Structure 1
Amino acid sequence: MNSPNTSRSDQDRPVNPRIVLATLWTTLLMLYLYADVLSLYVPGHLNEMIDGYMGPIVASQTSLMLAAVLMTLPSLMIVLSLVLSYTANRRSQIGLGALYTLVNVGNVIGEDWLYYLFFGAVEVVLTVSIVVYAVRWRVGKH
Structure 2
Amino acid sequence: MNTPRPHAPLHDVRLPVQAKLAAAWTSFMFLYLYVDYLALYKPGVLDDLLAGIVHDFETGPLFVGLALTLMAVPILMIVLSATLPARVNRVVNLVVAALYVPVTVFNADGEPWSYAYFYGFSIAVELLLLAFVARSAWTWPRREPRES
In the alignment, what sits opposite 1:135? 138
Provide the C-alpha distance between the structure 1 equivalents of 2:9 and 2:77, rounded to a whole number of angstroms. Answer: 30
- Look up the match of 1:11: 11
Alignment of 1:1-142 (within 5 A): 11-111=11-111, 112=113, 113=115, 114-140=117-143
- Displacement of 1:109 in angstroms is 2.8
Tell me how far apart the structure 2 counterparts of residues 48 and 27 of structure 1 sit (CA, whole Å).
Answer: 29
Gaps of 5+ in 1: none
TM-score if structure 1 supplies the norm length?
0.87
Q: CA deviation at 1:115?
A: 1.2
CA distances 1:103-135 after superposition (whole Å, capped 9, x unpaired): 101112333312122111111111121111111
Q: Report the number of matched residues.
A: 136
Higher helix residue share = 1
Relative to structure 1, is the Cα distance of residues 47 and 31 closer, same or farther in structure 2, using a 3 angstrom cutoff?
same
Q: What is the Cα-based RMSD across aligned positions, in Å?
A: 1.9
From the superposition, tell whether residues 16 and 140 of structure 1 become closer, same or farther in structure 2 (CA, over 3 Å): farther
Counterpart residue identity of residue 53, structure 2: Y
Quote the offset at 1:23 in angstroms: 0.3
CA distance in 2, matches of 1:49, 1:105: 22
Confirm or deny: 8 A CA contact 1:86 1:139 kept in the other structure: no
Q: Which runs of 4+ in 1 moved over 2 A?
A: 8-11, 109-112, 138-141
Larger Rg: 2
User: Per the alignment, do residues 30 and 77 of structure 1 end up closer, same or farther by CA in structure 2, a change over 3 Å counting?
Assistant: same
Mapped to 2, the partners of 1:70 and 1:27 lie a distance apart of: 15
Separation in structure 2 between the aligned mates of residue 11 and residue 53 of structure 1, nearest angstrom = 53
